[in-house]
Amino acid sequence: MRVKFRRTGGFVPTAISAEIDTDNCPPEEATRLKELVESSGVMYMQSAHVKGACDVWLYHLEIDKDGLVKRLNFDQISMPEMARPLIEFLAAHSKSMFGDD
């Protein structure tokens, strides 16, 4: 499984990203990521946005699971609660896209 994640925006705009391939990461990290993807239900979700939302984080996910690619976009207001642990995991494994970790 390969997961690409970006979080952009916010009151003070920031951008972080992560790309994790479960074939090339520590086994415990791979297991946890797979569990979070399964328990979150993201493979069955649809993108969502709150119209007119300002100063919020925007989340972009791309999950390639056994050749099935799922792309999702949502903001912090419309983010499904079930996806929160997955997003928190990915954010914790992210780096600044601006190179100013």
In percent, the amount of the chain with pLDDT more than 90 equals 81
Give the mean pLDDT of 47-69.
92
8: Cβ–Cβ under 8 A, 6 or more apart, which residues?
14, 15, 57, 58, 60, 97
Two tokens at 56? 């919020």
CA 54 to chain centre: 20
pTM above 0.75, yes or no: yes
Q: Enumerate the domain spans of the chain.
A: 2-96
